[in-house]
Amino acid sequence: MKNILITGGCGFVGGNLAIRFANLGYNVICFDNLARRGSESNLRRFKDYKNIEFIHGDIRNQEDFNHIKLKPHVVLECAAQTSAIDGYANPVYDLTNNTYGLINVLEYCRKIDAGLVFWTSNKSYSGDLCNSVPHIEHSTRLEWDVNSDFKLKGWSPKGFSEELDLNGGQHSIYGVSKLAGDLICQEWADTYDIPVIINRFSCIYGPNQFGKAEQGWIVWFMIAKLLGKPLTFFGFDGKQVRDCLYSEDMCDLIQKQVEMIGSHRGSFYNVGGGMKHTTSILELSNRLDEMLNIKSYVDISSEQRRADQKIYISDITKVSTDFDWTPKKNLVTGLIDTLAWVKTNKGLFS
């Protein structure tokens, strides 16, 4: 039986992966400081699995890794400060969690000869650069003007690929902390021959996500509408567009990556729902109102958030080719399943 370590293993992403790999027969070690909302809920889910071990630890503390007795062959690095907004007030916090902590994980992998799968973000790319692509404004969303003569390396009508320039400002502090980790992973993989895969994820959503306004916005919309909490759209009249990836599709990809980790040394991928699974903020809000049979109030502010990308859609050609993977769950079905979970667990959010 193989062992797998998941840092941030009690969070939304880590928790779903823990269940997936436990069901596959792995010994799963969930390493988490339980600082995030909803972490204790995942601990309760783990009680049904004898092959999931929880270790209370923080990737920022090297000595906490000494509590791990089983030697994993792969580490899934899901631990992070995940809000793209909070970091402006306290940039050191983002860097400590998302960059310095990652170095401890990489050094642990080097010491025990383990592979690593790293979670980074579409915020690795500059908002200014992404927003330079000409767009057309429609009633509910912005759309790229694919008929213009505009050219940008790394952009096509399929979305943003890994060839997009990483330089420039307007990444957000969170984005910079993740981008630094991205490049550090590539350097460690090359220098120390560590098997590493880097995923620049767009929006991941699904059941067991405790969304909030700063992060996990799809589930946060569901929670807010069910509980009658206010929603505010910042900038662009809510017409910003993202591609969305359902959690089970994410797990499918990571399973394939874990199985193929030995052949990768710093491979990096843009990962999301791709062009077939997109929504604007406004469209999501309207769709949820229809699903809930309500008419909720939304405050639309002209204030724009720093580093906000008008349209971000992942070109998933590279990751689909390398791992024979494509997202299966369409957005409508994914929203139905996620909303059912939120309704069932409404008491956890009030």
- Number of domains composing the chain: 1
Nearest alpha carbon to residue 341 among 243, 228, 163, 222: 222
With a cut of 90, say whether residue 221 has pLDDT above it: yes
- Whole-number pLDDT of residue 304: 86
With a cut of 80, say whether residue 213 has pLDDT above it: no
- Whole-number pLDDT of residue 119: 95
Residue 145 is assigned to a structural domain of this protein: yes
Residue 61 is assigned to a structural domain of this protein: no
Half-sphere exposure of 350 (CA within 13 A, CB side): 10
Domain coverage including residue 300 = 80-343
State the chain's maximal CA–CA distance in angstroms. 58
Q: Are strands 241-246 and 203-205 parallel, antiparallel or unpaired?
A: parallel
For residues 108-116, give the mean pLDDT. 98
Neighbours of 3 (CB within 10 A): 19
Work out the pLDDT band at 130, boundaries 50, 70, 90. Answer: very high
Residue 6 is assigned to a structural domain of this protein: no
For residues 123-138, give the mean pLDDT. 97
Integer distance in angstroms from the first to the last C-alpha of the chain?
A: 41
CATH number where 204 lies = 3.40.50.720
Residue 264 is assigned to a structural domain of this protein: yes
Query: Considering only 81-90, 170-179, 308-317, which range has the smallest mean pLDDT?
Result: 81-90
- Whole-number pLDDT of residue 133: 98
Pairwise CA distance, residues 157 & 145, whole Å: 9
With a cut of 70, say whether residue 317 has pLDDT above it: yes
- Whole-number pLDDT of residue 214: 67
Residue 332 is assigned to a structural domain of this protein: yes
What share of the chain in percent tops pLDDT 90? 82
- Whole-number pLDDT of residue 84: 52
- Whole-number pLDDT of residue 99: 93
Query: Considering only 52-61, 90-99, 145-154, which range has the smallest mean pLDDT?
Result: 90-99
Residue 16 is assigned to a structural domain of this protein: no
Nearest alpha carbon to residue 309 among 183, 196, 200: 200
Whole-model pTM? 0.95
Residue 25 is assigned to a structural domain of this protein: no
Q: What is the pLDDT of residues 271-280, one digit of tens each?
A: 999 999 999 9
Q: What is the pLDDT of residues 167-178, one digit of tens each?
A: 999 999 999 999
- Whole-number pLDDT of residue 23: 97
With a cut of 70, say whether residue 327 has pLDDT above it: yes
Work out the pLDDT band at 85, boundaries 50, 70, 90. Answer: low
Residue 18 is assigned to a structural domain of this protein: no
DSSP 8-state secondary structure symbol assigned to residue 211: -
- Whole-number pLDDT of residue 87: 52
